[in-house]
């Protein structure tokens, strides 16, 4: 559960990050940022993150932000994804999908892709559960996770701590880019 450094082929180091409930997510280590005597990591998931939406008749999809891992919706999503040789993973922070996914070409994005708070999504699969329609969408914008590093262990930064540290991390990253 510690940082794995790059190997001779130049692979990016990975970190297994843990949330408060004990769920984990394997991530690439993008940046290490020392702030206020602590070290924070900017991470991206190794597997493809997905978001679950309820597809309403009025063409107004609704993002489902919190879902329990035992929800029947996820069981149906598992079956639908298996038909495409994909696997749904109930990870820390987000749901992810493992397997071979085709990378979308920007000019090939369909008009029914979702826009929510300036994020763009591409439909991966849709399915029905108990007379309701759902869709798993891939966010096309980069999906970053902030974790606090402590003795080689990574813990997700959430809630109030995230709200306090986010502007400091953004400032540090802006300073690095302008240097």
pLDDT tens track for 73-97: 899 999 999 999 999 998 888 899 9
pLDDT of residue 119: 61
Query: In this structure, are 53 and 128 located in the same domain?
Result: yes
Evaluate whether residue 73 is within a structural domain: yes
pLDDT tens sequence across 133-144: 999 999 888 889
Please check whether residue 4 lies inside any domain of the structure.
no
Number of separate domains in the chain: 2
Q: Tell whether 39 and 58 lie within a shared domain.
A: no
Q: Are residues 53 and 21 in the same domain?
A: no
Residues 132 and 167 both lie in one domain: no
Same domain for 168 and 100: no
| Residue 178 in this model has a pLDDT that exceeds 70 | yes
What pTM was computed for the model? 0.78
Among 17, 33, 150, residue whose Cα is nearest residue 94: 17
- The 3-state secondary structure of 38-74 reads EEEEEEEECCEEEEEEEECCCCCCEECCCCCCCCHHH
Tell me which residue range forms the domain holding 151.
14-45+142-178
pLDDT in tens, 3-17: 444 443 457 799 999
Is residue 73 located within the same domain as residue 110? yes
Residues 146 and 170 in one domain: yes
- As a whole number of angstroms, the distance between CA 142 and CA 94 comes to 13
Same domain (yes/no): 84, 96? yes
- Give buried/exposed letters for 38-61 (b at 16+ CB in 10 A, else e): eebbbbebbbbbbbbbebeeeeeb
Q: What percent of the chain has pLDDT over 90?
A: 37
Residues 91 and 114 in one domain: yes
In a domain, 55, yes or no: yes
Residue 107's pLDDT band, with cuts at 50, 70 and 90, is low
């Amino acid at each position: 559960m510690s940082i794995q450094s790059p190997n001779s082929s130049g692979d990016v180091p990975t970190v297994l990050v843990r949330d408060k409930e004990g769920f984990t997510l394997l991530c690439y280590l993008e940046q290490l940022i020392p702030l206020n005597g602590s070290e924070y990591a900017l991470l991206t998931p190794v597997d493809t993150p997905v978001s679950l939406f309820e597809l309403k008749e009025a063409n107004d999809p609704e993002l489902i932000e919190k879902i329990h891992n035992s929800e029947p919706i996820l069981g149906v999503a598992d079956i639908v994804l298996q038909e495409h040789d994909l696997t749904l993973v109930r990870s820390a922070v987000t749901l992810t999908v493992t397997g071979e996914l085709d990378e979308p070409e920007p000019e090939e994005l369909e008009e029914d892709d979702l826009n929510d708070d300036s994020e763009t999504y591409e439909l991966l699969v849709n399915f029905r559960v108990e007379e309701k329609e759902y869709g798993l969408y891939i966010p096309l914008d980069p999906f970053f996770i902030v974790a606090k590093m402590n003795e080689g262990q990574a813990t997700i930064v959430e809630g109030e701590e995230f709200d306090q540290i986010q502007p400091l991390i953004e400032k540090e990253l802006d300073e690095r880019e302008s240097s």
